[in-house]
Amino acid sequence: MNSRRRNFLQTGGGMTLLTMLAATGWLTPRDAAAADGWNAAAFDTKSMDDTMKALGGGTPVPSKAITFVQTPDIAENGAVVPVGITSTIPNTQSIAILIEKNPNMLAAVFDIPAGTDPSISTRVKMGQSSNIVALVKADGKYYYAAKEVKVTLGGCGG
């Protein structure tokens, strides 16, 4: 299953990204979590099956207008992986970070109000080497770009 998911991503097939998008559950915050509007369902998707059930939103298309900045090909430690994403798609409304092989795929969603640069920089955890997907919502449509980041083992004690 993992490899299938990976293939879809690499070929840019809509199927997987559609489910990933559903996983973000972006459209309506529907969970009364501790923080206002925090979408528990979106952050809880663990498998393809879960995400299939929650289909919604449009099909994202690959976009060269989304770029990774300050995101290394190799992370010295998976506990802290710098990720920067910039979108030059007009009217970018949100930027989300998804990590394909993490237990829960969605890491973060940033809403970009008018007047704020469509560019964010943060640091995420990665359990293992994986694709990082930058998902951008602009004018109600969805776009994505993916980048593989390798996580290495380090130190002397394992």
Partner 1 sequence: MADPMRIRATVAGDSTEVKVLMSHEMETGQRKDAQGKTIPAWFIQSVTATYNGKTVMSAQWGPAVAKNPFLAFKFKGGAKGEKVQITWTDNRGDKRTDEAVIS
Partner 2 sequence: MQAMKVRRAGRAVLAACAAAAMTAALAQTSAVDEIAKYRAALQDGNPAELWEARGEDLWKAPRGPKNVSFVTCDLGQGPGVVKGTYAQLPRYFADADRVMDLETRLVYCMVTQQGYTQPDAMKGPFGGPGNKSDIEALVAYVTSQSRGVKMNVPLAHPKEKEAFALGEKMFVYRGGTHDFSCATCHAEDGKRIRLQDLPNLMTVAGAQKAYTTWPAYRVSQGELRTFQWRLNDCFRQQRFPELIFTSDASIALTMYLARNANGAAFDAPAIKR
Partner 3 sequence: MRKHFLLWGCAGVIAVAMVGCATAQSDVDVSRQAAAVLKSSFKANGQAGLDRLDQDETQRLCTQYANKALPKDVAEMIEKLNTASIKWPADGKWLGDWKNGERIAQEGRGKQFSDDPKGPVGGNCYACHQLTPQEVSYGTIGPSLYQFAKLRGYTDETRKYAYGKIWNADAYSACSNMPRFGHSQILTEQQIKDLVALLTDPDSPVNK
Contacting positions for partner 3 (CB under 8 A): 74, 150, 152-158
Considering the complex, what minimum distance in angstroms separates the CB of residue 145 from partner 2? 18
Q: With CB under 8 A as the contact rule, which of the stretches 10-18, 30-38, 43-51, 79-87 interacts with partner 2?
A: 79-87
Q: How far apart are CA 100 and CA 2, in angstroms?
A: 9
Residue 45 identity: T
Q: How far apart are CA 53 and CA 38, in angstroms?
A: 20
Which listed option, partner 2, partner 1, partner 3, none, makes contact with residue 139 (CB within 5 to 8 Å by class)?
Answer: none
Q: How far apart are CA 66 and CA 89, in angstroms?
A: 7
Q: With CB under 8 A as the contact rule, which of the stretches 6-14, 54-62, 115-123, 139-147 interacts with partner 1?
A: 115-123
Question: From the centroid of its chain, how far is CA 101?
Answer: 11
Considering the complex, what minimum distance in angstroms separates the CB of residue 73 from partner 1? 18
